[in-house]
Amino acid sequence: MSIILTADNISKQYRLGEVGVGTIGDDLKRWWYNIRGKEDPFLKVGAMNDRRAMADQDYVWALKDISFEVKQGEVLGIIGKNGAGKSTLLKLLSRVTSPTTGVIRTKGRIASLLEIGTGFHPELTGRENIFMNGAVLGMTRDEIKSKLDEIIAFSGCEKYIDTPVKRYSSGMTVRLGFGVAAHLEPEILVIDEVLAVGDAEFQKKAIGKMQDLSTGEGRTVLFVSHNMGSIQQLCSRTLVLENGKLSFTGDAKDGIDFYLNSGIQRSRELLSTREDRHGSGEFRFSTINVSIPEGGVMSTLLSGETYNFEITYKVNVDLYSVQIRLMFMDNRGIVRFLCNNEFSSKAQNLMKTERGTIVCTVPKFPLPNGRYSIRLTCFSSGHIIDDIENAFEFEVAGGNFFGTGKEQGLKEGVLVPNSFTFS
């Protein structure tokens, strides 16, 4: 497939502070350097785009030296934390604003859906806004007329199509805006996180439309989302942005794994020194971590994926009928589900001075978005011999449990099939 979009070392610099304060002197300095044929002096300064740190310079690089290529018919996911530069990148690609440095080369028309109601006039009806927005995006009146019924049907706003847009909800506005952009038949469709406003039905319809555009019609889609299930289902490749820089480019699944675990310094929880524990003490949990079957430690998980919860331990006496329980709790302290080796195998006997590892495998992780903790408990002959609350804290960020691209998990209290191994 041919290359339809190329970004070559593009960067975007912004000035911090109130708009207009102190800019005349900067403009004069830029002008003086320009007429002398010298480089813009402010390109040599500027802090990195780290929203967690206090600003110590007047300029910041929202994006810095981003380079990539997109092939025709490819669906490219762009992911990263809030403030990483995703929306800025889409604005540059959509030519809403120009890069400070670098070059962007594209072939064909670009349709963008960056913000709710972009280009819509609140006093005009939905029908009138379709014609106006379509014209802005480059469609002729005949093109709009030929696709009008299809756009209205896709948006699901038939009842309100002759009502002023100012009376629309944000979700209805997004539906109408996406309908116009998707039916423009652009060579490149650029979509920001706005689909999160739509309901589950519309999200499924929108994802299906994007798949049809890419696979059936050979159109290119650039898609920004925090829904990792949608990214995994829709995209073939991902870019991961971090503090304005491109930190990863490659396969969608690898990109999601990289993003979910970027910046994680602590992969193992040291439990052996925890004093806030209960039990008789003959058995002590030492460490816990979470990994995927292919290898690699995780601290941010996706619903529907397979994970191994690996726990190391030490035994001081001979123990019989040992049960290990993992109690998964949400941030309100409600138990969401349990894992226990008694569910899937016989209770285990452990010998004195034995050190080992317990692996609890959850084949289809059933939790939706949110923060969770694990309470670890060891029983022997019905008695608690070690019990630690908040033994491991983690976050679930999206997922595709039912294979639909929706962020869904199961209800609390569900006992899921799991397998335990002792070594």
User: What residue ranges define each of the domains in the chain, with the CATH number in brackets?
Assistant: 3-9+63-261 (3.40.50.300), 269-422 (2.70.50.60)
Q: pLDDT band for position 334 (50/70/90)? A: confident
Of residues 197 and 136, which shows the higher confidence score?
Answer: 136
Whether the per-residue pLDDT at 199 is higher than 60: the answer is yes
Kindly report the backbone phi and psi dihedral angles of residue 221, in degrees, each rounded to the nearest multiple of 5, phi listed first: -125, 130
pLDDT of residue 105: 92
Beta-bridge partners for 411: none
DSSP, residue by residue, 241-302: EETTEEEEEEEHHHHHHHHHHTT----SEE-TT--SEES-SSEEEEEEEEE-TTS-EESEEE
Whether the per-residue pLDDT at 35 is higher than 60: the answer is yes
Question: What is the distance between the alpha carbons of residues 313 and 153, in angstroms, rounded to a whole number?
Answer: 60
Question: What is the distance between the alpha carbons of residues 73 and 219, in angstroms, rounded to a whole number?
Answer: 5
The mean pLDDT of the chain is 80
Whether the per-residue pLDDT at 271 is higher than 90: the answer is no
pLDDT of residue 413: 44
Q: Rounded mean pLDDT of 45-62?
A: 59
Q: Rounded mean pLDDT of 145-173?
A: 88
Q: pLDDT band for position 196 (50/70/90)? A: low
User: How confident is the model over 356-399, as pLDDT tens digits?
Assistant: 899 999 888 888 888 888 999 999 888 899 999 888 888 887 77
Whether the per-residue pLDDT at 154 is higher than 70: the answer is yes
CA-based end-to-end distance of the chain: 50
Q: Rounded mean pLDDT of 28-38?
A: 75
pLDDT of residue 268: 46
The percent of residues above 70 in pLDDT, for the chain, comes to 80
Question: What is the distance between the alpha carbons of residues 336 and 324, in angstroms, rounded to a whole number?
Answer: 17
Q: pLDDT band for position 415 (50/70/90)? A: very low
pLDDT of residue 44: 60
Does residue 325 sit in helix, strand or coil?
A: strand
pTM above threshold 0.75: no
Of residues 130 and 210, which shows the higher confidence score?
Answer: 130
User: How confident is the model over 235-267, as pLDDT tens digits?
Assistant: 889 999 988 899 999 998 888 878 876 644 333
Question: What is the distance between the alpha carbons of residues 124 and 136, in angstroms, rounded to a whole number?
Answer: 15
pLDDT of residue 177: 83
Contacts (Cβ under 8 Å, ≥6 apart) of 93: 5, 7, 104, 106, 110, 188, 190, 222
pLDDT of residue 376: 93
Whether the per-residue pLDDT at 406 is higher than 70: the answer is no
Question: What is the distance between the alpha carbons of residues 150 and 158, in angstroms, rounded to a whole number?
Answer: 11
Whether the per-residue pLDDT at 29 is higher than 50: the answer is yes
Of residues 308 and 418, which shows the higher confidence score?
Answer: 308
pLDDT of residue 104: 93
pLDDT of residue 410: 45
pLDDT of residue 411: 45
The percent of residues above 90 in pLDDT, for the chain, comes to 19
